[in-house]
Structure 1
Amino acid sequence: MLTKYGEIIKEIEMRIEEGRISPGEKLPSVRAMSKEFQCSINSIIKAYAELEKEHKIYAVPKSGYFLVGTTSKFEGGSAELIDFSSAGPDRSKMPYRYYQHCMNQAIDLYKEEMFQYSDPLGLLTLRHQLSKQLQHLQVFAPPERIAVVTGSQQALDLLVSLPFPNQKEEICVEQPTHFSFIDSIMSRGLKYVGIELTDRGIDLDLLEEIFRNRSIKVFYMVSRFQNPTGYSYSNYEKKRIVELAQKYNVYIIEDDYMGDLDTRKKADPMFAYDPFGRVIYTKSFSKVLLPGLRLGVAVLPDMMIQDFTRAKFAADVHTPVLTQGALEIYLESGMYYAHIQKLRQQYKKKGSILKQAFLDHLPEGTLFSGGQSGFYSTIKLPGRMQAEHLVRYLKEKQVLVQDATNMYLPPYRKVDRIRLSVSQVEDQQICLGVKKIGEGIRDLMAKTIHFI
């Protein structure tokens, strides 16, 4: 016989299954549920707590309880939606409750600091903690060189607009790359040159030619689990790129936003091969913690700290003290390390499933890249098939994928790539989703509607 709170749990789960409560939707308040079930408030609280432990719902202080997950029903139909287009972290694995405790402690600990403006580069205590934390990634930097930013994208956006010590003008960029960095370049009218990134990496001879013949002030690259290709550079490639940068007086922005998820024991960031101060290291906590916190880190060369500080102050004065304080407490407690260990295994498993699904279900002539982290990978479509046609076709089959066309700078644009992320896709749905993608490619090839 079920207890009262057990009955409540069963009823809520049934409502979720029937689609009466949608992912992200707020559940009825504790008081409202108490009246509906004619039971004590404690029974409802206990039921909600149990569902939260199972990562089915999560609590937002002063707002209530919400259903975890992404939309599971396709608009206008009953078939289950497989969403490869959303690239945020798996909500069910995010440490809401633990971070809530850290936020509460930060309010207490930093209540005085919230009544005044803070250092543009971040709380010194947090920067000391980050200096220790980065050592686990083989990034050794004193707190004075570390800047806390409002998401790593802020650091990238500020950096591209700054003058560099080499007094050069052009930015070299992997092609493709993520939308926001393209926006930073295009919105400012900056000079750029692209270099193609494939499933085999970049052409190092071509990179040397670009460095030698162009006025390259900085090379922007994502060293691990690149967005959108999912490519991770080898240690040899990283070391060679640093050598070229030194030889031709070029700086490097190493975006290591998902370096925490790398399970390769001897894989180091490019920063570890940089004895010359050429590599500016950035990372984010968005993909491994909570995107809404908007927290990132930049490790700066001594000669650029003053200019960066001025730019940061002009942008937003400083990153919010409360979120900085909570991150400091979370890191110092050891909770972050334990959380990362779980995520590494989760995404490694997703990546393995995805790669095998590609091998099993994609038709001949279709190429793929990445997949190791479970976050990003691309598929190059066969023949003259265009991504936009496949995206529309798959949407009708309840599969969402991302057209990667706009992830290229205009002169380098390719229209035959789609991006996938399995970060929010259930393991058992990955194979089914890739199978539908393979079937979609075959159907479009057979109908020949993809030819220009």
Structure 2
Amino acid sequence: MKKYLEVLSDLEQKMNHGQFVSGQKLPSVRNAAKHYGCSVSTITRAYAELENNHSVYSIAQSGYYVVEKQRNRPNVSESNRIDFASTSPDPSVFPYLDFKHSLDKALDTYKFDLFTCGDSKGMETLRHTLISHLAGEQVFAKVDWITITSGANRALEILAKMPFPNGNSVILVEQPSYDLYLRFLEAEGIPVCGISRSTAGIDLRELEEKFIHGGIKFFYTMPRYHNPLGTSYSADDRRIIARLASKYNVYIVEDDYMADLGEERGMDPIYSYNATSHVVYLKSFSKIIFPGLRLGVAVLPEKVIETFYEYQRYADTSQLSQAALEVYIQNGMYERHKRKISKQYAARIIVLNEAVKKHNAAGLLQISEVQSGVFIQFKMPQKVNLERLVERLAAMNIFVVSGKQFYLSGYMEREKFIRISISRAQPEQIEAGVRMIIEEVGREVKSPF
């Protein structure tokens, strides 16, 4: 890591932990250089970065001072709420000031251009920026293959409705899978069928049979940090899925919506293993920055690009949001925030795993082995009444999501589980929440009804 980044990180930690409080003057540039054992120019750069982030402000001939932070009013009802249901990022880690800086810089840079409708493919400068950004995920793409959409859901809707070059019509989905997309496919009357996926993975022989005989247009999959299971396919499974797609001319729609939340080795996407352009790669930025940003990226095979734009019809994303995201990525703020939120979520999952080990001695729950991401599956004994369990937990101010909604309406081979999300669950609440869930499951098992 560059020295100025080490200094910057240390100063930010001290401000976050109250060692430097609102209005306090930072050490002079020379004193700070002596303290950190670096040059004056390194400190100047770190202080300038803090000022750009609105963490400090400077007064000529005086020095740098810590910006006064807004104090959130305590909310009694919120503090008692244990939220294992929400999927959006924790508001306490939203990068408001960083993104405000990016918005200001975008306005200064692009001015009036930001208030036009723009290209339906997205801003060309952002798409060029995304070439190197995606390459970091082993997704190597040309600028013409990249399109910006108003969130990954918009791309999923277009892909579901448009024809594909293989001439097939059925969409294959994992079961369980992303509930909103399943409801969309059913509401639109789009041909869809399911294939079972568990925390252990997927039956690749069954997948091959469906590719051969199922008339599959594309296979929709979340290979990393699956919603609702939380698990990821092994590298071998991803490699085999890529090979089967090429062999049987079936497309893969790879929803890599949480690509930024883990750094495990061997976690390259299916896209990186496919040499025949049979993978549509999707990524969302809302899970890292703000849910309301509504920006996603699709990397399209050349054979489907023209049809995709025919069905998209018009630009549906804000030019200002795109320009701000471009600045946010280019100046390194995205990478820094990604690491921050990824570490925070990983720490919460560690707390949750330890709580399960402590309170699940009777083995009432089976949980997915997850070390990063957001979701974990709590698999229940068959005797448990899920609806009643969810209601009883809600009455105790513990909010979870029943696994039933993550299946197609007619799909019968269902596991009984609740989905746990740690994105809004505060670390100090997690153990108590897990303990009360296990206690309620125990009561359900003993119930005569």
Decide: shared fold, TM above 0.5.
yes
Give the superposition deviation at 1:114: 3.4
The CA distance in 2 between the partners of 1:425 and 1:248, in whole Å, is: 43
**Alpha-carbon distance, 1:50 to partner:** 3.3
What secondary structure, in the 3-state scheme, does the structure 2 residue paired with 1:112 have? helix
Normalization by structure 2: what TM-score?
A: 0.82
Task: Please say if 1:134 is aligned against 2:134.
Answer: yes
Match of 1:333 among 320, 327, 331: 331
SS at match of 1:384: coil
Pair 1:373–1:310, CA change in 2 (3 A)? same
The correspondence of residues 90-101 of structure 1 with structure 2, limited to 5 A, is: 90-101=90-101
AA matched with 1:407: F
User: Alpha-carbon deviations, 1:120-151, whole Å to 9, x = none?
Assistant: 01000000001110111111001110000101
Shift of 1:101: 1.0
* TM-aligned CA distance change 1:359 to 1:196, over 3 Å: farther
Provide the C-alpha distance between the structure 1 equivalents of 2:221 and 2:415, rounded to a whole number of angstroms: 22
Q: Is the 8 A contact 2:115 2:320 kept in 1?
A: no
SS at match of 1:138: coil
Asked whether the equivalents of residues 72 and 82 of structure 1 are also in contact (C-alpha less than 8 Å), the reply is: no
RMSD: 2.2
Looking at structure 1, the residues matched to 89 and 323 of structure 2 have their Cα atoms a distance apart, in angstroms, of 22
Q: Residue 197 of structure 1 aligns to a residue in which SS? A: strand
Deviation at 1:344, TM superposition (A): 1.9
1:254 aligns with 2:254: yes
Consecutive unaligned residues of structure 1, counting only runs of 5 or more, are 1-5, 8-47, 58-66
Structure 2 matches for 1:22-37, cutoff 5 A? Answer: none
Letter in 2 for 1:73: S
Q: TM-score, normalised by structure 1?
A: 0.81
Task: Name the CA distance, whole Å, in 1 between partners of 2:344 and 2:299.
Answer: 28
Structure 1 position 364, deviation (Å): 2.3
Give the Cα–Cα distance (whole angstroms) in 2 for the partners of residues 72 and 207 of structure 1: 50
| 2:403 is aligned with 1:404 | yes
Runs of 4+ residues over 3 Å off in structure 1: 48-52
Q: In the TM superposition, what whole-angstrom CA distance separates every residue of 1:310-333 from its partner, at most 9, and x where no partner exists?
A: 22225xx33110000000011111
Q: How does 1:39-438 map to 2 (within 5 A)?
A: 49-52=67-70, 57=72, 73=77, 80-314=80-314, 317-362=315-360, 363-369=362-368, 371-413=370-412, 414=414, 416-438=416-438
In 2, Cα distance between equivalents of 1:197 and 1:115: 45
- Residue by residue over 1:405-431, the C-alpha shift from the partner in whole angstroms, topping out at 9 and shown as x without a partner, is 111101225472211101111112111
SS in 1 for 2:198: coil
Matched AA of 1:393? R
Contact 1:171 1:191 in 2 (8 A): yes
8 Å CA contact 1:230–1:372 kept in 2: the answer is: no
In structure 2, the partner of 1:34 is: none
Give the superposition deviation at 1:72. Answer: 5.5
1:298 is paired with a residue whose SS is: strand
Cross-structure match for 2:11:
none
Task: Describe the SS at the equivalent of 1:51.
Answer: coil
Q: Is the 8 A contact 1:387 1:403 kept in 2?
A: yes
Work out the CA distance in 2 between the residues paired with 1:237 and 1:253.
15
Unaligned runs of 5+ in 2: 1-20, 23-65
What is the CA–CA distance in structure 2 between the aligned matches of 1:49 and 1:385, rounded to whole Å?
52
How many residues are aligned here?
386
SS in 1 for 2:199: coil
What secondary structure, in the 3-state scheme, does the structure 2 residue paired with 1:243 have?
helix
Indicate if the aligned counterparts of 1:110 and 1:321 stay in contact, CA closer than 8 A. no
Shift of 1:370: 5.0
Q: Distance in 2 between matches of 1:415 and 1:202?
A: 14
Q: Which amino acid aligns with 2:81?
A: L
CA offsets per residue over residues 60-118 of structure 1, 9 Å max, x none?
A: xxxxxxx69xx6526xxxx8221101111111112100101111222232332234321
1:342 partner SS: helix
**Counterpart position of 1:35:** none
